Chains A and B, each alone.
Chain A
Amino acid sequence: MNQNVIQIRWHGRGGQGAITAAKIIANTAFVSGYTGVVMAPTFGTERRGAPVLTSLKISREKIYDLSPITEPDIVVVLDHLLVEEANVASGLKPGGLMIINTPRTPADYPFPGIIVATADVTTIAAQVGLPAGIVNTGIIGAFARATGLLDIEDLARGIEVEFTGKKPKRNAKSAKVTYDQTIIGGQ
């Protein structure tokens, strides 16, 4: 309801790390001047492999409304199969942005009135030497490129902090390479 709040809904699968990705963006947003940051996972029914949702709201002011996002400005999809499996475009505002980890291109996702950005995060992550299926850091690069909200170098530093002891450099590289290879479609 508050127009100054940017609402981002994350679609992933349980275990895919959408919460960690949202958390890194939340931390980077906060240190970049967004004093209002609220990240809320879907509550209570997470199971490995099942579709899960995470809400991230960022604002220049403190956020008071903690209710789940129903009309997102941005939707991030960590697994392109969810585009068919879950109603990922639900409530997405006209002119809103959908960022998808997929080997396909924006033209393959003709959502009316929505800008689609794509990146093959799964392949890029493997190329930079991450174990199969680690996509939650690469998708941050796609987010940075498609939204322009946060600096990719700041996000990469945030990734290295969060992944201390867990291949921090490769995870950061996955984000940076994905940043360069993200394709943004027309409306």
Chain B
Amino acid sequence: MHIIESGNVAAAHGVKLARAQVIAAYPITPQTPLTEKLSEFVEAGEMKAQYIPVESEHSALSVCIAASSTGARAFTATSANGLLYMVEQLHWAAGARLPIVMCVVNRGIGAPWTVWNDHQDAMSQRDAGWIQIYCADHQQIIDTVIQAYYLAETVSIPVMVCYDGYILSHTYMPFELTDPEKIDAFLPPYKPAYALDPANPANLNTVTLPDIRPDIRGQMAPGYMEIRHDLHVDLRRAIDVTADIDKKFSVAFGRGGNPFLEPYRCDDAEFVAVCLGSLSYHLRDVVDALRKEGIAVGVAGVRLYRPFPDQAVINLLVGRKAAIVFEKALSYGNQGALYGDIKAALYPCADRPLVHNYILGLGGREIQTAHLLDSLRTSCRTPDAIGDKPVWLGLKM
């Protein structure tokens, strides 16, 4: 059944279908309608979950960490400065290997205050040890939330499901609401290998010495570095797991098929635009227009951003004339973060393309189709003239 609703409501339905058991969140624009919808579901008895109101984002994630430690399926959501307020717990959740799912409704970071969309909030946490997946429309939001639990619980790593504030969160469009029974068949209940239990008390994540040492049972226990190495190895493993889950989901529901990058008109493209989130769909219309001008250009939206799918990036971009990276965030003082990641992935390849970087849409600055058209056309027509530094689009002063 299709319904027409906002992206926030799509996310809430995903959480409901995934049968999350504990929800703790603090409202922040533009995430608020998502948590309101979840509290309505719980209040109406449509969802058997504990909705725990908290006084801050730090507490929201703390509650999820506690709940997840006991083996409950936990959910939270936030945006911008709310995400930053939970940063300590964010890194903790990854280190503690808890399969929490969180929606990050992407919004620019203050100062100065903005409530509008860019990707700096999630981007600032790309190295936290969480998996990050970006969505381009409402169907991807609801489907990704469900798959995120599967992924998180398979690799014991928390997942951020990122979608554009306002552009997706407050925009209404149709999406398929899959039958709960079919989702239940796809996503089994969470059965943790270990769960905190008052009957069997334990210390978790205590001070861990630099070196390995015997534990209280006399067995060698890993040090901090081994534990962190495990996190990295499992994050890299999550790339293959993501592909497996996407395949399983595609078979069950007929949706998906591009778990790493979602290409459009890339088969014969000499030039490929690359970006995160809903912008990749906006660029499809731009690609169509440039194709009519005779330019062989395509676009690919990056879905899985952490762990970074290097091989998929290489497979897509090597042999092209240029990759043009559009970003709503940057590593201040350097360049766009995705731009840097893509260049690093391509560096070992002999036939690597030129890579361009456009910064746009910060703090909700309107992304005009004309700007996209002009910049992408320029990148394709004069690829050698752009240079290796970010170009800011749409500055008015």
Chain A contact residues, CB within 8 Å of chain B: 1-2, 23, 26-27, 30, 35, 37-41, 43-44, 63-68, 70
Contacts and interface: CB of A to CB of B under 8 A. Distances in A.
Nearest to B139: A62
B196 to A, nearest CB: 41
Contact of A38 (B29, B173, B364, B367): B173
Q: Which 8 A-B pairs have the closest CB atoms?
A: A64-B281, A43-B166, A39-B172, A40-B171, A64-B284, A65-B285, A44-B115, A38-B173
20 contacts: A1-B285, A1-B286, A1-B289, A1-B369, A26-B172, A30-B2, A30-B4, A30-B174, A35-B174, A40-B167, A40-B171, A43-B116, A43-B166, A44-B29, A63-B173, A64-B281, A65-B281, A66-B282, A67-B282, A67-B367
Contacts of A67: 282, 366-369
B278 interface: yes
Interface in B30-57: 30
A45 to B, nearest CB: 9
Nearest to A63: B173
A66 B171 contact: yes
Interface residues of B, number: 27
A116 B155 CA distance: 60
Contacts of B234: none
Given A2-B285, A44-B30, A44-B364, 16 more contacts: A1-B289, A23-B4, A26-B4, A27-B4, A30-B2, A37-B173, A43-B30, A43-B116, A44-B116, A63-B173, A64-B281, A64-B285, A65-B284, A65-B285, A68-B366, A70-B368
B174 A37 contact: yes
B270 interface: no
Nearest to B281: A64
A35 B137 CA distance: 14
A9 B285 CA distance: 20
Contacts of B310: none
A124 B367 CA distance: 40
Contacts of B4: 23, 26-27, 30, 37, 39
Contacts of A66: 167-168, 171, 278, 281-282
B170 interface: yes
Contact of A39 (B29, B116, B173, B289): B173
Contacts of B369: 1, 65, 67
Contacts of A38: 171-173
A67 B281 CA distance: 11
Contacts of A41: 170
B171 A39 contact: yes
A37 to B, nearest CB: 6
A63 B173 CA distance: 9
Contacts of A2: 285, 288
Nearest to A43: B166
Nearest to B282: A65
A65 B173 CA distance: 12
A43 B170 contact: yes
A170 B289 CA distance: 46
A11 to B, nearest CB: 18
A27 B173 CA distance: 9
Interface in B51-87: none
Contacts of A35: 174
Contacts of B172: 23, 26, 37-40
A23 to B, nearest CB: 6
A68 to B, nearest CB: 6
Given A23-B4, A30-B4, A40 B367 contact: no
Nearest to B169: A43
A30 B172 CA distance: 12
Nearest to A54: B172
Contacts of B281: 64-66
A169 B309 CA distance: 55
A56 to B, nearest CB: 9
A173 to B, nearest CB: 24
Interface string B255-293: 000000000000000000000001001101110110000
Contacts of B168: 66
Nearest to A38: B173
Contacts of B284: 64-65
